[in-house]
Amino acid sequence: MSANISLMEEDSADLLGHKMYHQLKPQRQKLRSLWHELYGTDPVIETTRQDAVMKHVTDLFTKMIEEEEENKEETIERVESLLKEQATLERELHIEIKANVNDKAPLCEIEANLHSALESYRCIKTERLAILQNYVTKEKQICKRLGTTPQIIDYIGVPSEDELLNFQKHLTDLEQKVAEREQIFVEKKHEILDLYSRLEAKATLSFELAVTRENEKTFKLTDNNLEKLEELLVSLRSQEDRAKAEAEELVSKLSLIWERLHESNEYREQCLITHSGYGKSAINGLKQELKRCEELKRKHIQHFIQEVRREIESWWYRLHYAENQKNMFEAYFSQDFSEELLELHELEVSKLRQYYEKNCALYQLIDERNKLWDKMNELNDKSKNTDRLFKNRGGQLLKEEKERKQIARDLPKIEKELKKLLCEYETANGSPFLFDGVSFLELMEDQWKENSACKEAQKIARKVANSTIAPSPLVDRKRKVNTPATSQSNISKRPRNEATPSKTPNRVKIRRMQNTPSTTKIPSVPLTRSQRGYKFAPPTKPAQTHSFSFRSPSTNTSSSSLASYSVFQEHLDVKEKTHIMPCRSSTSTRAALKENTQVVEIPLKSTPIRTPMKHTMIKTPRSASSKIPTPNRFTGPRLTTMRGKLPIII
């Protein structure tokens, strides 16, 4: 094959020589003609000229060969450069470049193939470098606004796709951070401008001016600037709080002093409208008004002290102060009206107000507890009145029962919470919580003990009454001459001043009470459900010694019983020995009863007094039904437990 190539090369060379011989023939003939014209036909000269032509052609070929040699070298260098570029691109782009290159192919073909193969990869490299440059530029701008250092690029040359994606994510985070800080800046700037407006203040420092004048796109969102921005906002908020507190304090002082000066409501409202808000102008206006009122106060110092004393009295009443607690404030009794005395009174008002605010929860629970306690006692008192059994309209008894259950649920809870707060108060202050001069814890315990003792006494009294008073059969008798009518009579057993009910319950036949020996001692017997209908009739003659008159059901003493006052007096003696006291509803209601009621004392006669009896149907508890021999059994009327003279409350 090499021989064929050699033959082909020789043929190519002969062909070139043949082409040159034929193509240069006219030029050779022209030269020979010119030589003859110039030099004649001298063969020596012609030979010389031919040698010159050959030398010139040889030099030309030599020069052309040199040029081709140089061209070959350059081509080889370009191919080598392309090969190096291929290797570099493969390394930088992290890919393998496949070029259709044959080692035995001509250099120009190799060069062309390499060029075509590397062109697309050059574009990829250029594009990635452009993206990288764009990212770097954008990063510098963002970092400049944020006051941070740009990210250090830890790769050389062309970044990979993953590296560009990471860089893009980094830029996205920076842009998100910028957006968040811009939003923070906008919000805080808006609040700062609003605070400046409400406070009627202006920015003075360079940073404050930059905040108020620049927008979110030009303001440098550095960490330092954001810290200063937050400090400025906190400072303005503090100024606002102080201004609000000052304005509220001024309004509070003005309201108090206006009240003591008896200023009209129209003037007060107009002044508050004129100086509304807490800006500088509003606060200055309120200060001027307070200054005017202070001057008036100094002119009417005595009137002001008296007004403050009335306020102190209202606080004493609200806090349930006892006399010894009130007397501790000695300035209250001073008649030396001066500014110092007024200041002492105002300090006392402030002290009482703070004490109430500190223990407000205690007082609220006490009020709730006292209301429930009074309601419980009210329901207990109602349960002793048998008339309600015949006037049960609208489900009143059911309502009362629901109220009892509600009180039974709520009262223990409130007292438990109240005891907890009272113990905490005693621990914190080292002294018990006083309510009308008495420890409220002890007061609650005493009330419950008294309530239990009262119930126990009533229980014992009922047992004693049931065991000592024997039942008597009902006897139907005709009314004799000069004897009061029986229950069959149309004469009303109701006191004259009592309203007649719409319906009168069925009357039972009147029975006499057995004579009770004067030596028998009977404890106080509370009214049972069957006895609460009995009422005392008014005195027959006001001029005489007050006594309770009644209508005797019959003159036959064998079928009735009489309750003498001597028995009642002996019963009081028993009560004194056993120390059984009547129940009290609550401290507050008892005190009010002592102050607002008038008591008329009625001398008691030593002779037996017959008690009127209002007869109703007997409702006996199930537990005692088996002990009663007859369904019409009744017991004697309840005797009161008052000591000494019997009072009548009018």
Using CA atoms, how far apart are residues 213 and 338, in angstroms rounded to an integer?
Answer: 55
Structural domain contains residue 448: no
Q: What is the pLDDT of residue 254?
A: 92
User: In this structure, is residue 593 part of a structural domain?
Assistant: yes
Q: 10 Å Cβ neighbour count for 378?
A: 15
Beta bridge partners of 601: 647
Least confident of 324-333, 399-408, 448-457, 584-593: 584-593
Q: How far apart are CA 495 and CA 301, in angstroms?
A: 60
pLDDT of residue 249: 92
Worst-scoring range by mean pLDDT, 248-257, 297-306, 391-400, 451-460?
391-400
Same domain, 524 and 615: yes
Locate 609 and state its tokens: 């007094």
Q: Where a domain ends, among 117, 136, 159?
A: 159
Counting every residue written for the chain, the total comes to 650
Using an 8 Å Cβ cutoff, are 621 and 635 in contact? no
pLDDT grade for 568, boundaries at 50, 70 and 90: very low
> 281 and 184, same structural domain?
yes
Q: Report the pLDDT value the prediction gives residue 283, as an integer from 0 to 100.
A: 93
Question: With 50 as the cut, is the pLDDT of residue 142 above it?
Answer: yes
**Cβ–Cβ < 8 Å for 341, 331:** yes
Q: Are 388 and 396 within 8 A, CB to CB? A: yes
Question: What span, in angstroms and rounded, lies between the C-alpha atoms of 32 and 19?
Answer: 20
Q: What is the pLDDT of residue 548?
A: 31
- pLDDT at res. 400: 86
- What lies within 8 Å, CB to CB, of 177 at 6+ separation is 146
* CA separation, residue 325 to residues 120, 126, 313, 328, 422 (Å): 102, 95, 12, 5, 19
Tell me if 90 sits within 8 A of 97, measured CB to CB.
yes
> Residue 471's pLDDT is what?
53
155 pLDDT band (50/70/90 cuts)?
Answer: low
- The pLDDT of residue 570 is 52
Q: Which band of pLDDT confidence, cut at 50, 70 and 90, is reported for residue 12?
A: low
List all residues 6 or more positions away from 222 whose beta carbon is below 8 Å from its beta carbon. Answer: 145, 146, 147
The single-letter code of the amino acid at 185 is F
Residue 114 resides in a domain = yes
Query: Distance between CA atoms of 390 and 506, rounded to whole angstroms?
Result: 11
> Residue 277: pLDDT above 60?
yes
Residue 563: give the domain boundaries. Answer: 507-650
The three-state secondary structure class of 155 is coil
Look at the block and give the residue holding tokens 């149309």: 490
Mean pLDDT of all residues in the chain? 75
Residue type, 429: N
Distances from the Cα of 596 to the Cα of 342, 644, 645, 648, angstroms: 35, 21, 20, 14
pLDDT digits (tens, 9 = 90+) for 491-504: 444 444 444 444 43
Judge if 101 and 133 occupy the same domain.
yes
Could you give the percent of the chain with pLDDT greater than 90? 33
Q: Do both 187 and 114 map to the same domain?
A: no
What pLDDT is recorded for position 455? 86
- Same domain? For 287 and 178 the reply is yes
In DSSP notation, 451-480 reads: HHHHHHHHHHHHHHHHHHSPP------PPP
Determine the 3-state secondary structure of 224 from DSSP: helix
Question: Which regions of 236-342 does DSSP assign to beta strands (E)?
Answer: none
Question: Angle between the 223-261 and 161-199 helix axes, to the nearest 10 degrees?
Answer: 20
Which is nearest to 542 in space by CA: 619, 627, 634, 648? 648
What is the mean pLDDT of the segment spanning 215-240? 90
Q: For residue 23, is pLDDT > 90?
A: no
CA distances from 312 to 304, 321, 343 (A): 12, 11, 13
State how far the Cα of 547 lies from the Cα of 604, in Å rounded to an integer: 7
Report yes or no on 634 lying in a domain.
Answer: yes
pLDDT at 38: 87
Domain check: are 171 and 119 in the same one? no
Per-residue pLDDT for 228 more than 50?
yes
User: Residues 105, 152: one domain?
Assistant: yes
State the residue for tokens 């003493």: 557
166 and 152 share one domain = no
Residue 32's pLDDT is 87
Most confident of 91-100, 544-553, 609-618: 91-100
Q: Give me 203's structure tokens.
A: 């920015």
Bridge partners of residue 515, in order along the sequence = 562
- Per-residue confidence band for 2, with pLDDT thresholds at 50, 70 and 90: low
pLDDT winner (highest mean) among 4-8, 108-112, 349-353 = 349-353
Residue type, 230: E
Of 181, 180, 171, 174, the closest CA to residue 224 belongs to 181
Q: How many CB atoms lie within 10 A of CB 478?
A: 8
- Out of 21-35, 65-79, 402-416, 570-584, pick the least confident: 570-584
Q: DSSP label at 607? A: S
Pick the residue with more confidence: 120 or 631?
120
| Single residue among 133, 159, 185 that ends a domain in this structure | 159
Which of the 8 DSSP states describes residue 619?
-
Same domain, 383 and 413: yes
User: Which residues, 6+ apart, have CB-to-CB distance to 93 below 8 Å?
Assistant: 121, 124, 125, 158, 160
Average pLDDT over residues 440-466: 89
Do the Cβ atoms of 348 and 319 come closer than 8 Å? no
- In a 3-state reduction of DSSP, which class is residue 48? helix
The closest of 460, 458, 567 to 513, measured between CA atoms, is 567
Residue 359, Cβ neighbours under 10 Å: how many?
Answer: 17
Query: Considering 435, 464, 493, which residue would you say is the last residue of a domain?
Result: 435
Q: Is residue 379 part of a domain?
A: yes
CA atoms within 13 A on the CB side of 414: 20
Task: Say if 305 falls within a structural domain.
Answer: no
User: Is 408 part of a structural domain of the chain?
Assistant: yes
β-pair partners for 602: 646
- Contacts (Cβ under 8 Å, ≥6 apart) of 472: 511, 512, 513, 514, 559, 560, 561
Do 645 and 518 share a domain, yes or no? yes
Nearest of 614, 630, 627 to residue 463 by alpha carbon: 627
DSSP 562-606: B--HHHHHHHHHHHHHHT-----S-HHHHHHHHHH--EEEEPPPS
Compute the radius of gyration of the chain from its Cα atoms: 61
Residue 274 has pLDDT above 60, yes or no: yes
Section 441-449 average pLDDT:
92
In a domain, 428, yes or no: yes
- For residue 42, pLDDT beyond 80: yes
Residue pair 632/474 in contact (Cβ under 8 Å)? The answer is yes
Residue 332 has pLDDT above 90, yes or no: yes
pLDDT tens readout for residues 586-624: 444 444 334 443 433 444 444 444 444 444 444 444 444
The confidence score (pLDDT) of residue 365 equals 93
pLDDT exceeds cutoff 80 at 575: no
Q: What is the mean pLDDT of residues 145-158?
A: 79
- Could you give the CA distance from residue 300 to residue 213 in angstroms, rounded to a whole number? 53
Measured in whole angstroms, the distance separating CA 76 from the mean position of its chain's CA atoms is: 86
pLDDT score, position 9 = 56
Q: Does the structure show a pLDDT above 80 at 434? A: yes
Site of tokens 């796709």:
161
Indicate if 101 and 188 belong to the same structural domain. no
Among residues of the chain, what percentage have pLDDT more than 70?
Answer: 69
Please give the tally of structural domains in the chain: 4
181 and 95, same structural domain?
no
